[in-house]
């Protein structure tokens, strides 16, 4: 074999291996179009025009409790929720850092529930929070901070190392959405129109230690500093989810922090805000008090929009031509999805639609990886 | 660090690149650094053990060499003025001194191995004995962590010392080069047990980059990963389930455990050796083969000539022959001939040496009575089989059908099953339980377990079974093809393009169908513990 042939053969082998691997990797990566749709939340951000006045960062208490469409339609405030399931505080920080590479919002709203987690928690949620990020130092640092003991950095660089075993679970979704997923969210909001009243909500059991971990304070400090340096106003909130339980001791720590650094803090579980929002836990949650449904989210957004307008001087931008196109489409999709879910509820008793023969509900509902399923709990 | 660790694979690729970029004379030094780093990753303190073995063997071998040279010089100087008896007496005295030095080295190094590996076992058994006299736990039981590959490198290094003593070759004068021979990283995990004269040729040559050799080496490495990750690690959960609860999994399940463990052990051990030999091939360092299609063996003697070849030849060369011809054994032979007749006198030393070798082979595999019984049972079967050889020969002469391929296949299956049954000692916690489980295979008729879906409740799914079925078919096909010589060479001769394509395909198969990552408990190589 001549030297030229050797180089040619080596290159051909490497290139073909890389190409096939990339193609297989794309096929095996979860598409998150069915049961666990939250996996597409983070990547969805990159489809926007990066012109948001308000950016939410946080976990499900953000992306299921506030509706950017309501904020837009009622107050002309363009906003986006960079949230994902059980998004830990450092993940929120790095997602914020990542977002600031594209835009500088006027207000950043951070939901403080994730202060309760001082350590990496769950591989499946990590994946959903991180994989959608574009590669940057923020993503690298996010991975490093988030990895559980069993995870490897390499498997984030080459997701096939994580998802290779999905070959036995490949569904039609994997082919259907091979070249891209369809938008499922509305400014980072996950719309649910079903209702499940909050009944028998468990009261929090006493904890051994109520102090938030040093890591959480460190990232809250970093978030505060980052906002300060970027000229962004930081607003801390605690969304009105009844479960997981929000302890008074936690409330006290956040309150002290907000007072110390003069950062506004809104706890939607407390009066008079709770009454002002008009939240009815019998009607406004879809899962018994963990998360708001669209009715609750719209009530919260209505209240918050007024608060933001009053306190942060945010202008109504609904007449800006540059915004109309994107928000018009988004609002249209939002209402279509609402109508679809309501119609399904009326016809089939669930938001997804007719039951499939295998027992799963909905036109888009199939199973995801077992790792994700096992990782999904009520406290996302 | 395991061969399957990402850090190992990345490190290996980098090492290979740097190796071929370095000037040839420095390449062995790079390998030494890499080997020490690799070993240190298993625990930096363990370097002391391998260091002690290297240093003690180095000084022993060099001194043995010098003593041999001095003996030769003295004999040459007195060639004409010493009588034959004087020369013989001098030679014997000189050899005795050399022998004592060798024994000192062997005692030191096998002593380290014995204390670390067998200390706790010995103490526990002594305590059991003492407890018969009413005193419980009289002796402290040490709890040493086993340095990686200690049995392998100790045997390899002592083989070198014995060879130098036997003047098979000269001692290595450069301690760093000897250090590389002892610690060469690909074979630290699970062997093979190489000979210095064979391994050193490639180790210090600083071989050039030969594309075809590198590709063949890569293919061998990938084939090893295929066996380990696609087959061994995939069936591992079922094996763990089956042997983990003997109360529940007896009878038909125990038989299934025999089959599954046979596949797991074979794929795991040979996979690791394939990776080792493949790495050597990429670097241009020929490493001894350790397997030769053992499941095609028609009897147990042949099986042991094809399975873990380097360990068995080590025992043959350094233990069986020396025991067979040592003075006490010859005296024993003479005594038994006088006492019990010619036949007994002829076979007694062979039997005694065989039993001793297999006792130690059993002990080598683990500090437990299971392994001792396993070793002795191997010896008994081998000896019975050899005694019955004339009978077999008559049988084959009389019945033509016993000389067909079908009969060979039957014999191969029989041998494989027999070895599988013996391997049950590997699986269960003690000897009585092993015998009990073996008994249930023939007494408990729960064959319905094979058909009622129970096989899917052993920790592996239908998809896993599918991969295993296809994987074993490929393995069998390659083994059949391999009887006509190197499969890689055959494919390359047929079409270099096909060879390249299969390399890529094998890589993809390992990546996609390998059992690794989250959701899999990627296991250590089984022989890593030796």
**A10 contacts on B by Cβ (under 8 Å):** 211
Q: How far is B501 from chain A (nearest CA, A)?
A: 7
Task: Extract the residue ranges of chain B whose pLDDT is less than 70.
Answer: 519-530
Q: Is the ipTM of this complex over 0.90?
A: no
Q: Which pLDDT score is estimated for B190?
A: 87
Rounded average pLDDT over A358-376: 37
Q: How confident is the model at residue A360 (pLDDT cuts 50, 70, 90)?
A: very low
The secondary element (H helix, E strand) that includes residue B101 is helix B84-113
Rounded average pLDDT over A43-57: 92
Q: Name every residue whose Cβ is closer than 8 Å to that of residue B323 and which is 6 or more positions away in sequence.
A: B329, B352, B353, B356, B357
Question: Residues A257-300: pLDDT tens digits?
Answer: 999 999 999 999 999 999 999 999 999 999 888 999 999 999 99
Q: How confident is the model at residue A357 (pLDDT cuts 50, 70, 90)?
A: very low
Q: How far is B28 from chain A (nearest CA, A)?
A: 25
Q: How far is A153 from chain B (nearest CA, A)?
A: 10
Name the token pair of B499. Answer: 């060879």
Mode of pairing for the β-strands spanning A54-58 and A107-111? parallel
d(CA A271, CA A269): 7
Average pLDDT, chain A: 89
Q: Give the residue from chain B lying closest to A12, CA to CA.
A: B500
Using an 8 Å Cβ cutoff, are B199 and B181 in contact? yes
Q: Which pLDDT score is estimated for A249?
A: 94
Q: Which pLDDT score is estimated for A56?
A: 96
Q: In whole angstroms, how far apart are CA B398 and each of B24, B118, B386, B403, B407?
A: 61, 50, 19, 10, 14
Nearest alpha-carbon partner for B158 in B184, B193, B189:
B193
CA dihedral over A71, A75, A76, A77, signed as positive or negative: negative
Nearest alpha-carbon partner for B147 in B119, B116, B107:
B116
Q: Which pLDDT score is estimated for A380?
A: 55
Contact flag B504-A16 (C-beta cutoff 8 Å): yes
Name the token pair of B75. Answer: 């004999």
* DSSP string for residues in A273-339: HHHHHT--TTTSBSSSSSSB-HHHHHHHHHHHHHHHHHHH-----TT-HHHHHHHHHHHHHHHHHHH
Q: Which pLDDT score is estimated for A368?
A: 33
d(CA A141, CA A150): 17
- Given a cut of 50, is residue A126 above it in pLDDT? yes
Contact flag B516-A160 (C-beta cutoff 8 Å): no
Tell me the domain boundaries of chain B.
Answer: 22-206, 210-287+428-530, 297-425
Q: How far is B512 from chain A (nearest CA, A)?
A: 5
Residue A196 burial (C-beta neighbours within 10 Å; 0-12, 13-18, 19+): middle
Question: Residues B354-377: pLDDT tens digits?
Answer: 999 999 999 988 889 999 999 999
Q: Which pLDDT score is estimated for B523?
A: 52
**A162 contacts on B by Cβ (under 8 Å):** 517-518
- Given a cut of 50, is residue A374 above it in pLDDT? no
Nearest alpha-carbon partner for A103 in A111, A113, A95:
A95
**Per CB distance under 8 Å, which residues of A are interface residues toward B?**
1, 6, 9-10, 12-13, 16-17, 20-21, 24, 28, 123, 150-152, 154-155, 160-162, 164-165, 167-168, 370-371
Contact flag B512-A161 (C-beta cutoff 8 Å): no
Mutation pick from A165, A370, A372, A373 vs chain B, by most beta carbons of B within 10 Å, is A165
Nearest alpha-carbon partner for B5 in B202, B182, B185:
B185
Contact flag A168-B461 (C-beta cutoff 8 Å): yes
**B500 contacts on A by Cβ (under 8 Å):** 9, 12-13
Mutation pick from B10, B518, B521, B522 vs chain A, by most beta carbons of A within 10 Å, is B518
**Per CB distance under 8 Å, which residues of B are interface residues toward A?**
6, 211-212, 461, 463, 496, 500-501, 503-504, 507-508, 511-520
Sketch out chain A's domains with CATH numbers: 29-375 (3.40.50.1110)
Question: Residues B378-392: pLDDT tens digits?
Answer: 999 999 998 898 898
Using an 8 Å Cβ cutoff, are A354 and A348 in contact? yes
pTM of the model: 0.86
């Amino acid at each position: 074999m001549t030297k030229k042939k050797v180089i040619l053969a080596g290159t051909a082998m490497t290139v073909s291996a890389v190409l096939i691997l990339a193609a297989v990797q794309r096929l095996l990566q979860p598409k998150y179009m069915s049961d666990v749709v939250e996996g597409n939340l983070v990547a969805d951000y990159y489809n926007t025009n990066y012109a948001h006045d308000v950016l939410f960062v946080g976990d499900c208490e953000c992306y299921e409790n506030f509706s950017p469409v309501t904020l837009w339609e009622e107050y002309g405030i363009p906003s986006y929720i960079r949230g994902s399931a059980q998004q830990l505080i450092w993940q929120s920080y790095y997602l914020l850092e990542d977002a600031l590479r594209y835009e500088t919002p006027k207000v950043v709203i951070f939901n403080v529930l994730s202060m309760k987690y001082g350590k990496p928690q769950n591989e499946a949620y990590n994946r959903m929070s991180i994989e959608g990020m574009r590669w940057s130092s923020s993503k690298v640092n996010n991975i490093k901070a988030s990895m559980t003991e069993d995870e490897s950095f390499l498997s984030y660089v080459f997701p096939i190392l994580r998802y290779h075993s999905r070959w036995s679970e490949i569904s039609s979704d994997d082919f259907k959405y091979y070249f891209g997923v369809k938008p499922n969210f509305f400014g980072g909001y996950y719309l649910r129109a079903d209702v499940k009243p909050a009944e028998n909500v468990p009261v929090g059991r006493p904890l051994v230690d109520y102090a938030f971990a040093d890591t959480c304070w460190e990232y809250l400090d970093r978030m505060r500093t980052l906002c300060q340096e970027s000229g962004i106003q930081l607003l801390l909130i605690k969304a009105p989810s009844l479960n997981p339980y929000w302890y008074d001791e936690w409330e006290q720590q956040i309150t002290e922090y907000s007072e110390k650094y003069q950062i506004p803090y809104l706890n939607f579980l407390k009066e008079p805000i709770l009454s002002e929002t008009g939240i009815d836990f019998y009607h406004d949650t879809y899962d018994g008090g963990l998360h708001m449904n669209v009715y609750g989210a719209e009530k919260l957004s209505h209240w918050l929009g007024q608060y933001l307008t009053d306190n942060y001087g945010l202008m109504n931008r609904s007449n800006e031509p540059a915004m109309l196109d994107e928000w018009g489409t988004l609002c249209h999709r939002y209402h279509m999805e609402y109508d679809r879910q309501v119609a399904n509820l009326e016809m089939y008793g669930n938001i997804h639609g007719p039951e499939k023969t295998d027992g799963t509900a909905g036109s888009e509902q199939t199973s995801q990886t077992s790792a994700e399923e096992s990782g999904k709990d009520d406290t996302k | 660090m395991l061969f399957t660790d990402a850090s190992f694979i990345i490190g290996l690729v980098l090492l290979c690149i740097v190796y071929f970029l370095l000037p040839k004379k420095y390449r062995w030094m790079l390998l030494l650094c890499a080997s020490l780093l690799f070993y240190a990753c298993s625990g930096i303190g363990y370097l002391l053990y391998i260091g002690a073995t290297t240093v003690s063997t180095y000084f022993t071998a060099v001194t043995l060499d010098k003593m041999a040279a001095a003996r030769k010089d003295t004999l040459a100087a007195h060639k004409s003025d010493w009588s034959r008896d004087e020369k013989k007496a001098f030679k014997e005295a000189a050899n005795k001194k050399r022998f004592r030095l060798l024994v000192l080295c062997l005692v030191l190094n096998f002593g380290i191995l014995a204390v670390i590996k067998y200390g706790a076992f010995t103490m526990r058994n002594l305590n059991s004995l003492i407890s018969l006299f009413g005193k419980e736990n009289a002796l402290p039981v040490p709890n040493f962590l086993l340095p990686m590959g200690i049995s392998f490198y100790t045997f390899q290094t002592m083989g070198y010392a014995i060879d130098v003593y036997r003047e098979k070759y000269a001692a290595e004068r450069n301690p760093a080069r000897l250090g590389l021979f002892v610690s060469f990283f690909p074979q630290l995990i699970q062997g093979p047990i190489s000979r210095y004269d064979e391994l050193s040729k490639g180790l210090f040559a600083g071989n050039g980059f030969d594309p075809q050799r590198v590709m063949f080496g890569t293919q061998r490495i990938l084939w090893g990963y295929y066996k380990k990750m696609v087959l061994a690690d995939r069936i591992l959960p079922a094996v763990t389930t089956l042997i983990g609860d003997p109360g529940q999994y007896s009878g038909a399940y125990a038989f299934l455990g025999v089959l599954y463990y046979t596949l797991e052990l074979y794929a795991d051990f040979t996979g690791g050796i394939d990776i080792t030999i493949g790495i050597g091939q990429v670097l241009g360092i020929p490493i001894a083969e350790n397997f030769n299609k053992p499941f095609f063996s028609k009897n147990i003697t042949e099986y042991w000539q094809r399975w873990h070849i380097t360990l068995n030849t080590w025992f043959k060369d350094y233990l069986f022959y020396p025991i067979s011809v040592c003075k006490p054994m010859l005296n024993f032979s003479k005594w038994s001939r006088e006492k019990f007749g010619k036949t007994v006198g002829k076979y007694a030393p062979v039997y005694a040496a065989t039993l001793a070798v297999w006792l130690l082979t059993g002990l080598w595999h683990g500090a437990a009575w299971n392994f001792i019984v396993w070793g002795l049972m191997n010896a008994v079967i081998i000896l019975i089989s050899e005694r019955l050889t004339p009978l077999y020969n008559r049988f084959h002469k009389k019945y033509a059908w016993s000389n067909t391929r079908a009969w060979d296949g039957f014999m191969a299956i029989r041998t494989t099953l027999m070895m599988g049954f013996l391997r049950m000692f590997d699986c269960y916690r003690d000897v009585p339980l092993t015998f009990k489980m073996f008994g249930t295979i023939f007494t408990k008729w729960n064959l319905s377990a094979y058909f009622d879906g129970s096989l899917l409740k052993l920790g592996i799914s239908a998809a896993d079974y599918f991969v295993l079925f296809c994987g074993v078919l490929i393995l069998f096909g390659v083994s059949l093809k391999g009887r006509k010589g190197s499969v890689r060479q055959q494919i390359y001769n047929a079409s270099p393009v096909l060879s390249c394509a299969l390399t890529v395909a094998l890589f993809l198969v390992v990546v996609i169908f390998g059992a690794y990552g989250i959701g899999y408990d990627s296991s250590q190589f089984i022989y890593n513990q030796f």
